[in-house]
Structure 1
Amino acid sequence: MSFEPSSPPNGLPLMRQRWSQLLFAHWPVPPEVLQPYLPARLELDLFEGQAWLGVVPFTMSHIRPLGLPAVPGLNHLHELNVRTYARLDGVPGVWFLSLDATLGLGVWAARTLFHLPYLHARMRLTETNGTLRATAERTHRGAAPAHFRAAWTPGAALPLAQPGTLAHFLTERYHLYTAGPDLQQALRGNRLWRGQLYHAPWRLRTATVSEWESTVVESHGLPTPVGPPLLYAADALNVWVRELRRV
């Protein structure tokens, strides 16, 4: 099942956002390594028998509830998420291990209203002469410490990712799953929500990394990913967010 809209959905989404300065960095990981990080009802979504682990820094801006203006100071944040991919009842989606972010109120809202494992962090994401640089330091009380530093340069535009390709599998995701804001409690519980996103297909680019230092994966007790990541930079796009539903 796939869902690739190019315009806002029928009905009323909860929120509109704009995502930019985004990098998809992925590594293949044996499924048995990642399965313990999913609740029992979710199964890993595999590509040709292989699980994938992603680290994704980006900027979220123009954040506003539908029908309301953006609030200065509350409509812009930087985010760094650690993710893998899962499915339930045939519906593929993203499963987040953590989402470090800069906006305190946004972290509170995401944890409280959307049950997502957002964590407080200091983060910067800047662009100089076409090169993007991101730094992050987790500050969330009680969470395992983690830091991140990377620099990358987006390159040539790629064709739209087609169904059945690895690029499509890793990037064209229109659902997310969550089981609560605390990952360890979520793994032991029986609550599960599915959320839905709407946006145009990603316009992907090649990317070259010149700096990479990170402990965000290791902060979850996972081994350091082996080898260089598979990289895609992405052009900015608008995103509409629907409410979560219990599943």
Structure 2
Amino acid sequence: MDERFTTKKASHNYNTRKRDLPSLPYIMKQTWTDSLFIHYPVNQQVLQKYVPDVLPIDTYDGMGWISVVPYLTSSMKLRGFPSIPGARQFPGYNVRTYVIVNGRPGIYFFSLTAANLIASTAARFFFRLPYYYLEIYMDNHNELVNFHSKSIKNSGAQLICNYKPISKPNPAAKGSLDEWLVERYCLFTITKKGVPLRCNILHRSWLLQDVEVEIHKNTILSALNISPATNEVIMHFSKRADVSIWPLVPAIYS
């Protein structure tokens, strides 16, 4: 089944975000390219069933959101080291929702996939994230991105789509839902004992473009047994983000 959508237009103070960082050096740099954001509205109560209670769901006008984000990691480099051999360029996608902890908005990941065994294993170990290695095909011809993932074993989650930007890049309007969805600069996870942890990231504000999308198969939400609250779908494209990543720190006291 094919679906076609078009989207809207994120801004945040870069220096303010710098002041919010923990007093530790970053540990990794990555570059993300050809990112597609597919945002679905989901009732807050539904989402909270799947998210630890210590990570309250964040809402916009009372509504929670879940997003599927395919993208290409086009570089990965540990601080003080050259690019990681075998992990320089690989596609992946993540499935995320939005939480707020100790007054700080961030992201909670249901799952992340990467077509690279080294990267997925390291992220699972060092960042306590539900990362999976998965065969994924992705290419870009004349700005048309083709993305084809295999299904995740035991869940059937699969994404097959192609997409193309159709406008000039702009930051999202201040205070808009678009800004709320993409301008998030930390992720949250928990320890085995349920203690919340935070990982900060830093990059320039997302430059977003309207996007035309054909979805040939998307079973990601159904694999989670989550249904959107409405038929409203918001999509964004962003060509590139150069990202610095910090180590995990306690979420509440830092």
Q: Residue 62 of structure 1 contacts residue 75 of structure 1 at CA under 8 Å; is this kept in 2? A: yes
Name the SS for the 1:46 alignment partner.
Answer: coil
* Aligned AA (1:5): Y
- CA drift of 1:228 comes to 5.7
Tell me the distance in 2 between the aligned counterparts of 1:55 and 1:175: 17
Q: Residue 122 of structure 1 contacts residue 139 of structure 1 at CA under 8 Å; is this kept in 2? A: no
C-alpha deviations, 1:76-104, integer Å up to 9, x for none?
22111111100011100011101011111
What percent identity do the matched residue pairs reach?
Answer: 27
Give the corresponding residue for 1:198.
202
Query: Is 2:18 aligned against 1:5?
Result: no
Q: Residue 86 of structure 2 contacts residue 118 of structure 2 at CA under 8 Å; is this kept in 1? A: no
Instruction: Tell me which of 116, 134, 138 is aligned to 1:125.
Output: 138
Give the corresponding residue for 1:183.
none
* Aligned AA (2:194): N
Q: Residue 177 of structure 1 contacts residue 193 of structure 1 at CA under 8 Å; is this kept in 2? A: yes
Q: Decide whether aligned partners of structure 1 residues 218 and 116 sit closer, same or farther in structure 2, where only a CA change above 3 A counts.
A: same
Query: Is 2:244 aligned against 1:240?
Result: yes
Instruction: Tell me which of 39, 44, 54 is aligned to 1:41.
Output: 54
* Aligned AA (2:26): P
C-alpha deviations, 1:161-180, integer Å up to 9, x for none?
23311110011110101126
Q: Residue 31 of structure 2 contacts residue 74 of structure 2 at CA under 8 Å; is this kept in 1? A: yes
Q: Which runs of 5+ in 2 are unaligned?
A: 1-10
Query: Is 2:42 aligned against 1:29?
Result: yes
Name the SS for the 1:133 alignment partner.
Answer: strand
Give the corresponding residue for 1:70.
83
Give the corresponding residue for 1:170.
181
Give the corresponding residue for 2:172.
161
Give the corresponding residue for 2:68.
55
Tell me the distance in 2 between the aligned counterparts of 1:28 and 1:239: 27
Tell me the distance in 1 between the aligned counterparts of 2:203 and 2:43: 30
- CA drift of 1:226 comes to 5.0
RMSD: 2.2
- CA drift of 1:139 comes to 4.7
Q: Which of 214-223 and 94-103 deviates more?
A: 214-223
Give the corresponding residue for 2:100.
87
- CA drift of 1:229 comes to 2.3
* Aligned AA (2:164): T
Q: Residue 93 of structure 1 contacts residue 177 of structure 1 at CA under 8 Å; is this kept in 2? A: yes
Q: Decide whether aligned partners of structure 1 residues 153 and 84 sit closer, same or farther in structure 2, where only a CA change above 3 A counts.
A: same
Tell me the distance in 2 between the aligned counterparts of 1:28 and 1:71: 37
Q: Residue 24 of structure 2 contacts residue 246 of structure 2 at CA under 8 Å; is this kept in 1? A: no
Instruction: Tell me which of 222, 228, 231 is aligned to 1:227.
Output: 231
Q: Residue 98 of structure 1 contacts residue 117 of structure 1 at CA under 8 Å; is this kept in 2? A: yes
- CA drift of 1:223 comes to 2.8
* Aligned AA (2:176): T
Tell me the distance in 2 between the aligned counterparts of 1:194 and 1:229: 28
Q: Which runs of 4+ in 1 moved over 3 A?
A: 6-11
Aligned residues: 237
Query: Is 2:112 aligned against 1:103?
Result: no
Name the SS for the 2:198 alignment partner.
Answer: strand
* Aligned AA (2:103): G
Tell me the distance in 1 between the aligned counterparts of 2:173 and 2:227: 31
